Amino acid sequence: MWRAAAESGDAEGAVSALSDDVELVSPLTEQFRFRGRAEVGPLLEVAFSVIADIEVHTHVDGGDTHAMFYRARIGDQPLEEAQLLRLDADGRIREVTLFVRSLPALTALLAALGPELARRQGRRGLAALLAASTSPLHALSRFGERRIVPLAAPER
């Protein structure tokens, strides 16, 4: 159910796979976690509105612990995400821990999610502050990835 919802961008379907007391550990901050469907649901709605073409390439089933890996994009930025999923006794997801690569994908996600979540909470000033502070970070990481990092590639 979780995988199908992710691949189709179905936030409502994804929420239905969650336990009531789900906890989502974000790859973007250590400052807080999203707890319960009421907090995780809106995050998934925003995430599925900016992450496109999700294609799961690996799913590891370890009983009550699963790992899922997918490729996608945010705009023209490729993204890869790993998800550690822990299930409750009813088979619903009680914990989601997310890991994102590459750095430009992570900063693109930060620049897209933070301001939109704040807007949806009616916090326009915070949304503007988040946009102003995350956009330069994303621009720098993207420039570095495309122009500077290739200069350090192994010589062949």
CA angle (27 as vertex; 25, 139 as ends), nearest 5:
155
- Model pTM? 0.92
Q: State the DSSP string of 62-74.
A: ETTEEEEEEEEEE
CATH of the domain at 24: 3.10.450.50
Domain count, the chain: 1
pLDDT number for residue 143? 97
Buried b (16+ CB within 10 A) or exposed e, 30-50: eeeebeebeebbbbbbbbbeb
Asked whether residue 154 is domain-assigned, the answer is no
Helix segments in 2-152, DSSP class H = 2-8, 11-16, 37-50, 103-120, 124-143
Domain span holding position 36: 2-148
Asked whether residue 156 is domain-assigned, the answer is no
Asked whether residue 73 is domain-assigned, the answer is yes
Calpha distance 120→123 (Å, rounded)? 7
pLDDT tens-digit readout, 31-55: 999 999 999 999 999 999 999 999 9
- CB of 128 closer than 8 Å to CB of 58: no
Asked whether residue 115 is domain-assigned, the answer is yes
